[in-house]
Amino acid sequence: MAKEIKQIIVPDIGDYKNVPVIEIMVKVGDTVAAEQSLLTLETDKATMDVPAPFAGVIKEIKVKVGDAISTGSLIMTIEGEGASTIVASEPPPVATTPVPATQAAPPPHVAIPSLTPATAIPHGELTARKSHASPSIRKFARELGVDLSRIKGGGIKGRVTKNDVQNFVKAALNQPQAAGGMPGGMAVLPMPVINFAKFGEIETRPLSRIQKISGANLHRNWVTIPHITQHDEADITEMEIFRKKLNEEYAAQGIKITPLAFVLKAVMTALQQFPDFNASLDASGENLVLKKYFHIGVAVDTPEGLMVPVVRDVEQKGIAQLAKELAELSAKARDKKLPATDMQGGCFSISSLGGIGGSFFTPIINAPEVAILGVSKATMKPVYVEGAFVPRLILPLSLSYDHRVIDGAAAARFTTYLAQVLADVRRLAL
Ligand code: CAO
């Protein structure tokens, strides 16, 4: 078939008139595929891509960005084959639009079908499919972090339009919460996808299996639990003297007692005093399940990521025994020898960064627990005692709690009690 030059005109765009051209995706001489987007129009309600009616070479571009065009306006000329087939399949009113009389010897025109409104589909109904969209729409979707394969295109032949992407994001934002008051999908914008390599050298390293698992749990807990963190300080000067003495006594048995063993025991007594902290919400979210046992999880930093083994029946164990178990559990975690059962059944968690540094942080609650204690590094501070500043060893404490279950007054009472016990560890014996 001989190649012909044909006009491309704006299809029937309904009542819209003088619609501005906001983007032209091709230039003269470009070879375009059938259905490739040529330009984008923007009305006050929608953005529409005008696709090539068939494959060919763009010979002329009759409009520029900012021009206002209407149904029937000439936008480009194209040289290609197969136009008659395409024209035959287009809607008759558009296909017979006359060529403007001002043009001498006009080439035959090609019409583009009417552009349709966009359709967004909620997440649940979507299945992966190959998406069909112009480069500008792909770029737009990428900027919003939208996966185009999740969108059913509402444009010609299922093309994804800008409107489709916008409606998809709106639908995601308006998703209802799941039953039980726990949001199944959060109404947040997707994260934009950034090509970091544009700004400098990068290296991409996959997350470890543990990081992926704990990351998903941390994310869920952070976004579904209303967290508050109560900070406090405990004067552990006397405790340190006692701890050092104990360490001398237990050195022969190979037991090293760190402040964490005391914190573990002190937390247990605080849980006995404040049972709401030793509890979980049930699945309905309407009842608090109070636990009569005291199993406390301890976050362990391993090369593979964070793990939380559980020290069981803390109320039945002394400081030396707890120190020994802590060392064994953290060694097992770091050697990847921790069975899943050692990480189950916890009532409350402790995250200690005391061996590293820093003062105060916001630990994330380990659901379905309702509180977690963050412990930072003890440092010497001047404390005003009986008319004078004296050096005391001060331990920073950060208690994050689930505000649906625990109120601020209870949290302040909990940390105050904890600080008292740590300041005078004889209370652990009470
Ligand atoms: N203040 C001052 N010194 C402290 C301290 C504190 N609060 N806690 C521990 N130390 C000291 C210890 O006494 C020990 O001193 P020496 O080496 O002089 O004897 C040193 O710091 C190292 O202690 P440790 O870290 O080996 O032992 P631990 O019992 O304190 O902690 C464990 C054990 C497993 C909790 C810890 O090794 C760990 O992994 N911590 C990180 C937990 C974590 O990543 N939490 C964040 C979770 S959210 O991402």
Q: What is the DSSP string of 320-386?
A: HHHHHHHHHHHHHHHTT---GGGGS--SEEEEE-TTT--S---PPP-TTSSEEEEE---EEEEEEET
Q: How far is ligand 1, taken at its centre, from the CA of residue 196, in Å?
A: 35
Contact criterion met (CB below 8 Å) for 352 and 298: yes
**Three-state secondary-structure class, residue 290:** strand
Determine if ligand 1 sits within 6 Å of the CB of residue 264: no
CA distances from 230 to 245, 259, 272, 373, 417 (A): 32, 20, 19, 9, 13
Query: How many residues belong to the chain?
Result: 430
Q: Which of 84, 86, 39 is nearest to 58 (CA)?
A: 39
Pocket test for ligand 1, best of 227, 255, 258, 264 (most atoms within 8 A of CB): 258
Residue 363 has a CB neighbour count (10 Å cut-off) of 21
Query: From the CB of 352, is ligand 1 less than 6 Å away?
Result: yes
Q: How far is the CA of 349 from the centre of ligand 1 (A)?
A: 15
- Count other Cβ atoms within 10 Å, centred on residue 41: 25
Neighbours of 272 (CB within 10 A): 12
* Nearest to 166, CA basis, from 140, 192, 184: 140
Tens-binned pLDDT, residue by residue, of the chain (430 aa): 567 888 998 888 877 888 888 888 899 999 998 888 888 887 766 667 788 888 899 999 999 988 999 888 999 999 987 544 333 233 333 222 222 333 333 334 333 333 362 222 222 222 233 567 777 788 788 778 788 888 888 876 677 888 888 888 888 777 655 444 444 556 678 889 999 999 999 999 999 999 999 999 999 999 999 999 999 999 999 999 999 999 999 999 999 999 999 999 999 999 999 999 999 999 999 999 999 999 999 999 999 899 999 999 999 999 999 999 999 999 999 999 999 999 999 999 999 999 999 999 999 999 999 999 999 999 999 999 999 999 999 999 999 999 999 999 999 999 999 999 999 999 888 7
Residue type, 297: G
CA-355 nearest atom, ligand 1? 21
- Cα 261 from Cα 318, distance rounded (Å): 9
Q: Which of 298, 344, 341, 338 is nearest to 322 (CA)?
A: 298
pLDDT of residue 170: 84
Residue type, 40: T
Instruction: Please state whether beta strands 56-61 and 31-32 pair in parallel, antiparallel, or not at all (unpaired).
Output: antiparallel
Residue located nearest, by CA, to atom 38 of ligand 1: 300
Are 76 and 52 spatial neighbours (Cβ–Cβ below 8 Å)?
no
pTM: 0.64
Q: What is the DSSP letter of 160?
A: B
Q: How buried is residue 96: exposed, middle or buried, by Cβ count under 10 Å (0-12/13-18/19+)?
A: exposed
What angle do the packed helices 135-144 and 162-173 form, to 10 degrees? 20
The verdict on whether 403 is a catalytic residue reads yes
pLDDT (tens digit per residue) in 359-396? 999 999 999 999 999 999 999 999 999 999 999 999 99
CB atoms within 10 A of CB 140: 19
Distance 351 CA to ligand 1 centre (A): 9
Angle between helices 237-250 and 319-334 (to 10 degrees): 80
Q: Is the CB of 353 under 6 A from ligand 1?
A: yes
